[in-house]
Structure 1
Amino acid sequence: MAVKPWHQSSRWPEGVPFDIDGYNKPVFAMLDDAARNYPNATYTIFQGGMRTFAQVKDTADRLANFLASRGIKHEDRVAIFLPNIPQYPEVFFGSSKAGAACVTCNPLYTIEELNYQLKDSGAKAVFCMDHPQFYKTTCEAIKGTDVQTVVICNIKSYLPKIKGFLGGLLGKLPKAESHDPSHFMYDDIIASSRPEPPKVNFDAEKDLAVILYTGGTTGVPKGAELKHTNFYSNVVALNKWIRVPNRPGERPGPMESGGAHTFLGVLPWYHSFGLTVCMLGSCYSANRLVCIPDPKAGNPPFTEVLKAIQDYKVTMTVAVPTIYTAFVNHALIKKFDLSSMAACSSGAAPLPPEVLKRFEEITGGVIFEGYGLTETTPVLTTNPTFADKRKIGSVGMPLPGTDIKIVDLDTGLVELPHGEDGEIAAAGPQIMRGYWQRPDANAEVFREIEGKRFFLTGDIGHIDEDGFVVITDRKKDLILVGGFNAYPKEIEEVLYTHPKVAQAAVVGVPDPSSGEAVKAFIQLKPGVTATEKEILDFCKDHLAGYKRPREIEFRDELPTSVVGKILRRVLRSEELEKRKK
Structure 2
Amino acid sequence: MAASAREPGPRELTRQLPSSEEVFRTFIEPRIWTRFYDEFVPREIKIPEVPLFKLLDDSATRFPKRSAFIFFGRRVSYEEFLRSANSFARALRENWGIDRGDRIALFLPNSPQFAIAFYGALKAGATVTPVNPLYTGFELARQIRKSNARILVALDMFKDKVEEAISEHGAKLDAVIYTGIDDYLPGILAILYRLKERKPKIRYDGKKTVKFKELVKSYEPNPPSVKIDPKEDLAALMFTGGTTGVPKGTMLTHYNIVANVHQIDAWWKPGAKGEDIMVGVLPWFHIYGQTAVLHTGIFRAATILVYPRFDLDRILRDIEKYKPNIFHGVPTIYSKIVSRPDITKYNLRSIEVCISGAGALPKAVAEKFEKLTGAKIREGYGLTETSPVTHINPIYGKYKIGSIGIPVPNTLAAVADPEKPVLLPPGQIGEIVISGPQVMKGYLDMDEENKKVFFECCGRRWLRTGDIGYMDEEGFFFIVDRKKDVIKYKGYSVYPREIEEVLYMHDCVTDAAVIGVPHPHVGERIKAFVTLKPECKGRIKPEDIIEFARKHLAPYKVPKEVEIRDELPKSAVGKILRRILREEELKKLQSSEPRRTGTSQ
- TM over 0.5: same fold? yes
2: CA distance between counterparts of 1:277 and 1:484? 17
Name 1:278's counterpart in structure 2.
Answer: 293
1: CA distance between counterparts of 2:368 and 2:203? 48
Aligned with 2:44 (options 19, 32, 47) = 19
1: CA distance between counterparts of 2:164 and 2:249? 22
Cα distance, 1:473 vs structure 2? 0.7
Q: Which amino acid aligns with 1:208?
A: L
Asked if the contact 1:239–1:255 (Cα under 8 Å) also holds between the matched residues in 2, the reply is no
Q: Which amino acid aligns with 2:324?
A: V
Cα distance, 1:454 vs structure 2? 0.6
Name 1:6's counterpart in structure 2.
Answer: 33
Matches within 5 A, 1:156-195: 156-168=182-194, 171-173=195-197, 175-181=199-205, 182-195=208-221
1: CA distance between counterparts of 2:363 and 2:121? 41
Asked if the contact 2:29–2:412 (Cα under 8 Å) also holds between the matched residues in 1, the reply is no
Name 1:515's counterpart in structure 2.
Answer: 523
Cα distance, 1:526 vs structure 2? 1.6
Cα distance, 1:180 vs structure 2? 4.6
Identical residues among aligned pairs (%): 42
Aligned with 2:486 (options 475, 478, 492) = 478
Name 1:316's counterpart in structure 2.
Answer: 326
Name 1:377's counterpart in structure 2.
Answer: 387
- Single out whichever of 302-311 and 189-198 deviates more from structure 2: 302-311
1:468-518 deviations in Å (ceiling 9; x for gaps)? 111111000111112221111110011111122111100111122221121
- The higher-RCO structure (CA 8 Å, 6+ apart) is 2
Aligned with 2:309 (options 265, 278, 294) = 294
Cα distance, 1:53 vs structure 2? 0.7
Name 2:406's counterpart in structure 1.
Answer: 397
SS where residue 566 of structure 2 aligns?
coil
Cα distance, 1:229 vs structure 2? 0.7
1: CA distance between counterparts of 2:190 and 2:495? 40
1:182-213 deviations in Å (ceiling 9; x for gaps)? 41101111111111111111110111110000
Q: Which amino acid aligns with 1:561?
A: S
Aligned length: 557
Q: Which amino acid aligns with 2:336?
A: A
1: CA distance between counterparts of 2:366 and 2:457? 37
Name 1:573's counterpart in structure 2.
Answer: 583
Aligned with 1:34 (options 50, 59, 73) = 59
Q: 1:179 to 1:352 in 2, by over 3 A?
A: farther
SS where residue 129 of structure 2 aligns?
strand
Matches within 5 A, 1:386-535: 386=396, 388-411=397-420, 413-527=421-535, 528-529=537-538, 530-535=540-545
Asked if the contact 1:313–1:341 (Cα under 8 Å) also holds between the matched residues in 2, the reply is yes
Q: Which amino acid aligns with 1:158?
A: Y
Name 1:304's counterpart in structure 2.
Answer: 314
SS where residue 219 of structure 1 aligns?
coil
- Structure 1: unaligned runs, 5 residues or longer: 244-253
Name 1:246's counterpart in structure 2.
Answer: none
Q: Which amino acid aligns with 1:329?
A: S
Cα distance, 1:2 vs structure 2? 4.6
Q: Which amino acid aligns with 1:232?
A: V
Cα distance, 1:341 vs structure 2? 1.4
Name 2:121's counterpart in structure 1.
Answer: 95
1: CA distance between counterparts of 2:426 and 2:185? 55
Q: Which amino acid aligns with 1:452?
A: R
Asked if the contact 2:380–2:392 (Cα under 8 Å) also holds between the matched residues in 1, the reply is yes
Cα distance, 1:532 vs structure 2? 2.2
Asked if the contact 1:262–1:290 (Cα under 8 Å) also holds between the matched residues in 2, the reply is yes
1:391-430 deviations in Å (ceiling 9; x for gaps)? 111001000000011111112x111122211101100000
1: CA distance between counterparts of 2:465 and 2:449? 13
1:74-109 deviations in Å (ceiling 9; x for gaps)? 010000000001111111100000000000100110
Superposed CA RMSD: 1.4
Cα distance, 1:553 vs structure 2? 1.5
Cα distance, 1:440 vs structure 2? 1.2
Q: 1:436 to 1:174 in 2, by over 3 A?
A: farther
* TM-score of the pair, normalised by structure 1: 0.94
Asked if the contact 1:268–1:274 (Cα under 8 Å) also holds between the matched residues in 2, the reply is yes
- Single out whichever of 153-162 and 393-402 deviates more from structure 2: 153-162
Matches within 5 A, 1:53-452: 53-69=78-94, 70-131=96-157, 134-143=158-167, 144-168=170-194, 171-173=195-197, 175-181=199-205, 182-243=208-269, 254-258=270-274, 260-295=275-310, 297=311, 302-386=312-396, 388-411=397-420, 413-452=421-460
Q: Which amino acid aligns with 1:161?
A: G
1: CA distance between counterparts of 2:516 and 2:272? 41
2: CA distance between counterparts of 1:44 and 1:416? 46
Cα distance, 1:342 vs structure 2? 1.2
SS where residue 59 of structure 1 aligns?
helix
Q: 1:151 to 1:256 in 2, by over 3 A?
A: same
1: CA distance between counterparts of 2:177 and 2:511? 41
* TM-score of the pair, normalised by structure 2: 0.90
1: CA distance between counterparts of 2:248 and 2:86? 30
Q: Which amino acid aligns with 2:414?
A: K
1:447-482 deviations in Å (ceiling 9; x for gaps)? 011121110000011111221111111000111112
1: CA distance between counterparts of 2:154 and 2:341? 34
Name 1:564's counterpart in structure 2.
Answer: 574
Cα distance, 1:165 vs structure 2? 3.0
Cα distance, 1:331 vs structure 2? 3.1
Asked if the contact 2:204–2:211 (Cα under 8 Å) also holds between the matched residues in 1, the reply is no
1: CA distance between counterparts of 2:191 and 2:572? 67
Asked if the contact 1:269–1:279 (Cα under 8 Å) also holds between the matched residues in 2, the reply is yes
Cα distance, 1:175 vs structure 2? 2.2
Q: Which amino acid aligns with 1:309?
A: I
Asked if the contact 1:23–1:236 (Cα under 8 Å) also holds between the matched residues in 2, the reply is no
SS where residue 434 of structure 2 aligns?
strand
SS where residue 142 of structure 1 aligns?
helix
Cα distance, 1:149 vs structure 2? 1.5
Q: 1:507 to 1:32 in 2, by over 3 A?
A: same
SS where residue 62 of structure 1 aligns?
helix
1: CA distance between counterparts of 2:215 and 2:585? 54
Asked if the contact 1:370–1:381 (Cα under 8 Å) also holds between the matched residues in 2, the reply is yes
Asked if the contact 1:370–1:396 (Cα under 8 Å) also holds between the matched residues in 2, the reply is yes
2: CA distance between counterparts of 1:183 and 1:116? 20
Asked if the contact 2:255–2:437 (Cα under 8 Å) also holds between the matched residues in 1, the reply is yes
Q: 1:404 to 1:419 in 2, by over 3 A?
A: same
Cα distance, 1:218 vs structure 2? 2.5
Cα distance, 1:174 vs structure 2? 6.0
2: CA distance between counterparts of 1:458 and 1:155? 38
Name 2:560's counterpart in structure 1.
Answer: 550
SS where residue 398 of structure 2 aligns?
coil
1:140-194 deviations in Å (ceiling 9; x for gaps)? 21343341021111232312222223333xx125622333534110111111111
Asked if the contact 1:325–1:513 (Cα under 8 Å) also holds between the matched residues in 2, the reply is no
Q: Which amino acid aligns with 2:376?
A: V
Asked if the contact 1:118–1:142 (Cα under 8 Å) also holds between the matched residues in 2, the reply is no
1:119-139 deviations in Å (ceiling 9; x for gaps)? 0110000100121xx122112
Q: Which amino acid aligns with 2:475?
A: G
2: CA distance between counterparts of 1:266 and 1:570? 38
2: CA distance between counterparts of 1:14 and 1:104? 37
1: CA distance between counterparts of 2:393 and 2:478? 11
1:541-572 deviations in Å (ceiling 9; x for gaps)? 11111211111122221100001100001111
Cα distance, 1:274 vs structure 2? 0.2
Name 1:250's counterpart in structure 2.
Answer: none
